[in-house]
Structure 1
Amino acid sequence: MKREDVLMEALPYIQQFHNKTIVIKLGGHAMVDPVVLENAIRDAVLLHYVGIRVVLVHGGGPEISEKMKQMGKESVFVGGLRVTDTETLEIAQMVLVGKINANIVSLIAKCGARGVGLSGSDGNLILARKMELQKVNVGGVQKEVDLGHVGEIEQIDPALLNTLLDTGYIPVIAPIAIDRQGGNLNINADTAAGDIAIALKAFKLINMTDVDGVMDKGRTKVYRKLTVREAIDLQKSGAIGEGMIPKVQSVMKAVENGVGYAHIINGNTEHNLVLELFTHDGVGTMISLS
């Protein structure tokens, strides 16, 4: 009877989401723990087979840092963004496109579906420009820092994604963009996922991370539902910590630009993706316009 109750609770959500587009940003522990990643992919394939148009976007910061360490390079971050010289960009492409992306596509096949690995340069999917100099405070003095091959998104062309979705594939996107000169740029995966969701007019954007959702200042309560206005107030109050700020900002931007709902969930617990989507209470934080 409990199994029947779970299925019946899920039914109206399955009906509501059928043929809708959901963009899932894979991050946090899923990018370093193969068991967690495979669980997330299995959930994504389940969504695919109940009729949801699933798009996966992934990061890979920890693996890039580890590979750089192995090659004798130090990772340097400014404002949460990796300083990316030419060699670091090559390492990022190798890890994101050559390893992580290919691994996710293989896991999709293992679970019985068809995935296609992409970077932002495929089909001019993500057009970006080099990020401007970033101002940082060094010993009380404002300095401008060049982040190198780090980009900010100018445009998303969803044509290739729509073609793949229409023919039954799950696109898997690595956050490497192309610029107008044909060069590559490293971009933030949270930002990429949000902008892709906007371009696809997605029904939902899900950001999978290592925390249970947006919490109060005392870290004792998870907010299950927030409006954009409430999320802004929490950020101003300091309740949303530094690591969560870019995630919350990217999902708020998506909701403000036509994405129906955005969710921040903990990917470390098995099947949290399914529980967030197909149960009344959910397990993370859902952010909506109103």
Structure 2
Amino acid sequence: MKKQTTMKSDWIATAQTLNAALPYLQRYDGATVVIKLGGHAMGSDEGMASFARDVVFMQQTGVNPVIVHGGGPQINAMLDRLAIKSDFVRGKRVTDQATVEVVEMVLSGLINKKIVQAVNAAGGGVVRAVGLSGKDAELMVCEQTDPALGFVGTPVAYNPDFLRSLHASEIIPVIAPIGAGRAGETFNVNGDTAAGAIAASLRADRLLLLTDVAGVKDAGGDVVTEMTPEQIRLMIAEGTIAGGMIPKVETALEAIDGGVRAVVILDGRAPNACLLELYTDHGAGSLIRAPR
């Protein structure tokens, strides 16, 4: 009897959760959400499967998801295996010809197809994903960022209509941050930069930056749940935002300037992080948007 009572309580709680999510399901119906899946956030196979189910749920409830992924730890591991030495300039990897070939192999091959396979498995034949890089359909045309960095690119042109055509066919794009140069070069693009640029080209409703931290923290170490661009700039000037968080918030600011409605920095290792952010009152991580 006690077991039945507990089960009934669980069912009621589930129903209440679904009921509370209704306004958000309506809010995001037809919205474009770009998700940056960082290499550190990919975690275990179980974590990848959970992320894939979340993305399928989003697509099945009317969201148009676009996945852009990174893979820094995996690239480092492969370069070590191949005994290819990496140099860094001002914290950025110098990408020579040998390195860019490994970067493309790992990102467009190993990681991209792993994510595609996970989404297709979760989709059960109803939801489909397709793997791409910025080189496909001129999704991301780049110029060299800095000659000192070699084949590192800055996106300058895009093909958002191609991504919209995939959404019209109910296909989820999974994009590796590899760009094409106008002279036929292959460029390594920072994953956050690529996600922000693609989100801006689509005028996305949300850009979710999944990383390995809970969000932007204040001077006391607490996560700030909602911020404006002006607050971000002040926290950088004060030194509260520092280190690896600076490129992420800079990506957020550039995306918002480019037309993205809001950006959220959140811990991609947390179970159902994307669903918590989109479909609950409390959300997840740090939401950044211009004052309304």
Same fold (TM over 0.5): yes
Residues 249-286 of structure 1, C-alpha deviation per residue, up to 9 Å, x if partnerless?
Answer: 10111112211111011011111111111111112111
Answer yes or no: is 1:23 the counterpart of 2:18. Answer: no
Q: Which runs of 5+ in 2 are unaligned?
A: 1-11
Match of 2:175 among 173, 176, 183: 173
The alignment yields a C-alpha RMSD, in angstroms, of 1.2
For 1:111, the equivalent position in structure 2 comes to: 122
User: For the Cα contact (< 8 Å) 2:39–2:72, is it kept in 1?
Assistant: no
In structure 2, the residue matched to 1:281 is 282
Q: What is the CA–CA distance in structure 1 between the aligned matches of 2:86 and 2:49, rounded to whole Å?
A: 28
Q: Amino acid of the residue matched to residue 214 of structure 1? A: V
Alignment correspondent of 1:213: 215
Report the CA distance between 1:32 and its aligned residue: 4.6
User: For 2:145, which of 131, 137, 146 is the aligned residue?
Assistant: 131
Name the structure 2 match of 1:191. 193
TM-score (norm 1): 0.93
Are the aligned partners of 1:31 and 1:59 in contact in 2 as well (CA < 8 Å)?
A: no
Aligned-partner Cα distance in 2 for 1:37–1:29 = 12
TM-score (norm 2): 0.92
Evaluate the alpha carbon distance shift between residue 32 and residue 64 of structure 1 in structure 2; reply closer, same or farther with a 3 A threshold.
farther
Aligned to 2:79: 68
Which residue number in structure 1 is paired with residue 256 of structure 2?
A: 255
Tell me the distance in 1 between the aligned counterparts of 2:229 and 2:129. 33
2:93 is aligned to 82
- Contact 2:42/2:269, CA 8 A, preserved across alignment: no
Aligned to 1:111, the other structure's residue is in SS state helix
Letter of the 2:35 counterpart: I
Identical positions, percent:
40
The 1:81–1:47 alpha-carbon spacing in structure 2 relative to 1, beyond 3 Å, is: same
Post-superposition shift, 1:28? 4.3
- Give yes or no for contact 1:276–1:283 (8 Å, CA) kept in 2: yes
User: Which runs of at least 4 in structure 1 moved beyond 6 Å after TM superposition?
Assistant: none
The structure that is helix-richer by fraction is 2
Specify the SS of the correspondent of 1:236. helix
> What number of residue pairs does the alignment pair up?
277
State how far apart, in whole Å, the 1-side matches of 2:242 and 2:64 are.
32
**Matched-pair contact (CA < 8 Å) for 1:81–1:188:** no
Could you give the per-residue CA deviations for residues 199-253 of structure 1, whole angstroms, max 9, x where no partner exists? Answer: 011111000000101101231x111110111111111111112101111110111
